[in-house]
């Protein structure tokens, strides 16, 4: 990979907690082990979501707002525009070409728009149930290509599909990979397509998203530092 992304920023820590004050406490406990944080729907349903975003920015943290915007193009465009003005670094969108194009046109500043391909909680049977007559890898690649055509900056993709994306999609595509589980962690029941940090980075992921393996660790700071070291080693390799 040739993108100039500092190694410490490649770990995005998911603040999957129910309250903003718990999120702040987690960030403070992690200290310099965390640089980039994801806030999503769970925190949106609690008071203080945008105050938390501002607090993270004021503490020199990068922020990934993962709300998977999906609505008529005009509504999505307005949401992206408002979010850009709040200083977010990444946001996620869902939907068809017109929705992705509207989001891409509305972004400004440092905000990067990422299109969701296929959730890591879905397997081939789930995709078939949703009416897609193709395998997951083909679906992810198709959505990635269309996202770039629409002007999006990148995609959210399982690590299982990143290697093919790197071979067949333009290199400027940003790949953010959730469903990351360190070797000692067994996959949780709702995560079906998972990968270790080393394998994800070596496959071509630009960023990895880690939530529960850090949040639920006996020592979250050490867990985050261990993953940071694994990322650095994978990059050197």
The annotation status of 193 as a binding-site residue, yes or no, is no
What are the structure tokens assigned to 220, written together?
């979250």
The annotation status of 49 as a binding-site residue, yes or no, is no
The annotation status of 92 as a binding-site residue, yes or no, is no
The annotation status of 192 as a binding-site residue, yes or no, is no
Q: Indicate which residue of 32, 60, 61, 71 is catalytic.
A: 71
The continuous run of DSSP H or E covering 37 comes out as strand 36-40
Residues constituting the chain = 237
The annotation status of 216 as a binding-site residue, yes or no, is no
The annotation status of 64 as a binding-site residue, yes or no, is no
Q: Indicate which residue of 24, 62, 66, 153 is catalytic.
A: 66
The annotation status of 166 as a binding-site residue, yes or no, is no
Report d(CA 232, CA 229) in Å as an integer: 5
The annotation status of 212 as a binding-site residue, yes or no, is yes
The annotation status of 67 as a binding-site residue, yes or no, is yes
Measuring CA to CA, which residue among 200, 198, 199 is closest to residue 178?
Answer: 200
Per-position DSSP letters for 128-192, written without gaps between them: HHTT--S-HHHHHHHHHHHHHHHT--EEE--HHHHHHHHHHS-TT-EEEE--B--TTSPPPTT--
In 48-111, alpha helices (H)? 49-58, 73-85, 97-106
* Residue 66 falls in the annotated catalytic set: yes
The annotation status of 75 as a binding-site residue, yes or no, is yes
CA 79-60-223 angle, to 5 degrees, is: 100
Q: Indicate which residue of 68, 81, 105, 112 is catalytic.
A: 68
Binding site members for substrate: 16, 38, 66-75, 120, 181, 191, 211-212
Annotated binding-site residue numbers: 16, 38, 66-75, 120, 181, 191, 211-212
What amino acid positions are annotated as catalytic residues?
66, 68, 71
């Amino acid at each position: 990979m040739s993108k100039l992304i500092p190694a410490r920023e490649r770990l995005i820590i998911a603040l999957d907690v129910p309250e903003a004050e718990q999120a702040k406490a987690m960030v403070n406990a992690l200290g310099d082990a965390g640089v980039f944080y994801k806030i999503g729907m769970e925190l949106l349903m609690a008071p203080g979501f945008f105050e938390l975003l501002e607090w993270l920015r004021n503490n020199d943290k990068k922020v990934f707002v993962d709300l998977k915007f999906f609505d008529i193009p005009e509504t999505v465009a307005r949401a992206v525009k408002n979010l850009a003005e709040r200083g977010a670094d990444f946001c996620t969108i869902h939907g068809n070409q017109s929705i992705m194009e509207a989001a891409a046109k509305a972004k400004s500043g440092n905000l990067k728009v990422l299109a969701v391909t296929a959730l890591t909680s879905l397997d081939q049977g789930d995709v078939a149930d949703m009416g897609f007559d193709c395998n997951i890898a083909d679906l992810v690649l198709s959505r990635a290509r269309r996202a770039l055509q629409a002007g999006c900056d990148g995609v959210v993709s399982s690590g299982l599909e990143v290697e093919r994306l790197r071979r067949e999609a333009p290199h400027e595509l940003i790949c953010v990979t959730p469903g990351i589980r360190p070797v000692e962690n067994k996959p949780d029941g709702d995560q079906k397509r998972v990968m270790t940090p080393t394998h994800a980075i070596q496959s071509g992921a630009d960023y990895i998203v880690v939530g529960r393996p850090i949040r639920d660790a006996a020592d979250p700071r050490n867990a985050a530092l261990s993953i940071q070291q694994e990322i650095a080693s994978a990059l050197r390799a």
